[in-house]
Amino acid sequence: MIDVSWLPSWVLRYLLPNRSRATRLIFIEQPWTSWAYSDGAIQLHLLLNVTNESDTDALLVSRVQVQVRLAGWKFLQWQDCMLVDIGGRRLMPGFVGRRLPPRTTTAVRIIHPYKSERPKPGQPIKCRLRITDQHGRLHSKRLTVPGR
């Protein structure tokens, strides 16, 4: 028998096969994702498939945020997204969100005007997306959004 008492408890929880699996969401970017610039804002059109990989339900609460990086390494501020459709139903700010059953995939569409300076035409935009679940955990994804 190997003595693992010297390992931190979080390492043991991660390595042991009988641990309970926390909710984990997997984001897959779709090819129809794009951006356009109008009225002093970058219009992000994000299309993703989201998979609930866990054995329990996931509840996406009404907090979806996006952060944009135009050039270099500096990201702009996080902004709350107002137009979020999950599985064909609108996620309303301030209300309980959509339930994702275990081991299922659903489509997520986000349209968000991000106030910013005009990027170069055709330049891909790097951004980060984060969604909060019912346990207050953040699920995030880095995206590269091509221009139209």
Compare 38 and 1 and report the one with higher pLDDT: 38
Compare 142 and 62 and report the one with higher pLDDT: 142
Average pLDDT over residues 79-104: 83
* Domains, the chain: 21-145 (2.60.40.10)
- From CA 42, how far away is CA 35, in angstroms rounded? 7
pTM of the full structure: 0.76
- From CA 145, how far away is CA 32, in angstroms rounded? 9
Q: Evaluate whether 90 touches 82 at the Cβ level (below 8 Å).
A: no
Q: Which range in 8-22, 34-48, 79-93, 120-134 is most confidently predicted, on average pLDDT?
A: 34-48
